[in-house]
Structure 1
Amino acid sequence: MSFINPSKPFSRSLAASLLLALAACSNAAQAATYTMYRDAGCGCCLNWAGHVEHGLEAEVASVDSDDMAALKTARGVPQDLWSCHTMEVDGYIIEGHVPADAVAKLLRERPEGVAGLAVPGMPLGSPGMELGDQVQPYDVIAFGPGGRSVFASYP
């Protein structure tokens, strides 16, 4: 017994509606604009952007900035959480080498009181900071009006 019978008009209409709904859902994550601000002299930022593009199937626009400190301050990134690049996506700030799966979780769950995620500094082994088999454990910190908390830990 088949639920959708392509020879019946109602079934064709239902099938088309289901396909459109699936397409809309899959395009929702891609519809967000990913804009990364970076110092033009920093190469790890582009490596990280490639990780995000691959992990989230999204395009990251890279914008060079001459004053990253002013940019981070204007966007509310606490100074002790600063790293080398800052990304804006769908109303959130992503600071530093945050893994794509943590960004995806933030965009999916949208926790209350969180303005963004940060990986302070530049820990070895984080996305964009790969150096052979050298890995430093690190935390992804959620920050915002709700305070701070560990959002994820790696490895």
Structure 2
Amino acid sequence: MNSATINRRLLLGAAVFIGSGGAACAQSRRPRNLVVYKTPTCPCCDGWIAHMRQAGFMATVNVLPDLRPIRIARGFPDALASCHTGLIDGYLVEGHVPAADVIRLLSERPTAVGLAVPGMPLGSPGMETPQGHKDPYDTLLVLRSGASRVFARHNPPA
């Protein structure tokens, strides 16, 4: 065998190895299936759903007149309620939580009920304004005890 044949074989072998590694990584990534519950009169929820889809989440939307029973069934405190509720991989995601925070939650897998952005802060996903106004807000990690702590801070004051 000459050196050209050996080099071609090495190149082909390396390409197959690299290609199969990429396929294995793609197959091992868990799908991001998100089930969203929203009321029929909330347009900002649609903006948040679009934000999540753009980040690679597969969102299924269910329209209900009242979301409280979903939150209660999962031990989520009323004080942190917002206008829509998402369920993903055992966690509840309440309100205008940025996709990056949900991705981090799924990566870190803390013992918790889920995440919440109470209220509807301007500049959060789905609450963008034409003027680009952004209120500072926190994403909260909601613990099983009902307590919460800051998980992420967004739009800090200048």
The amino acid across from 1:153 in the alignment is R
What is the alpha-carbon distance in structure 2 between the residues aligned to residue 123 and residue 94 of structure 1?
A: 15
Deviation at 1:13, TM superposition (A): 6.2
Q: Which ranges of structure 1 fall in alignment gaps of 5 or more residues?
A: none
RMSD across aligned positions (CA): 2.2
Equivalent in the alignment of 1:72: 71
Equivalent in the alignment of 1:138: 137
Equivalent in the alignment of 2:4: none
Q: Which ranges of structure 2 fall in alignment gaps of 5 or more residues?
A: 1-6
What is the alpha-carbon distance in structure 2 between the residues aligned to residue 19 and residue 118 of structure 1?
A: 34
1:45 is the counterpart of 2:45: yes
Deviation at 1:32, TM superposition (A): 3.0
Residue correspondence of structure 1 range 37-116 to structure 2 within 5 A: 37-55=37-55, 57-111=56-110, 113-116=111-114
Q: Over residues 124-155 of structure 1, what are the superposed CA-to-partner deviations in whole Å (9 max), with x where a residue is unaligned?
A: 11110111222211110001226421000111
Equivalent in the alignment of 1:154: 154
The amino acid across from 1:82 in the alignment is A
What is the alpha-carbon distance in structure 1 between the residues aligned to residue 135 and residue 18 of structure 2?
A: 49
Deviation at 1:116, TM superposition (A): 0.1
Identity %: 38
Question: TM-score normalised to the size of structure 2?
Answer: 0.83
Deviation at 1:16, TM superposition (A): 5.3
8 Å contact kept, 1:39–1:84: yes
Moved over 4 A (4+): none
The amino acid across from 1:125 in the alignment is G
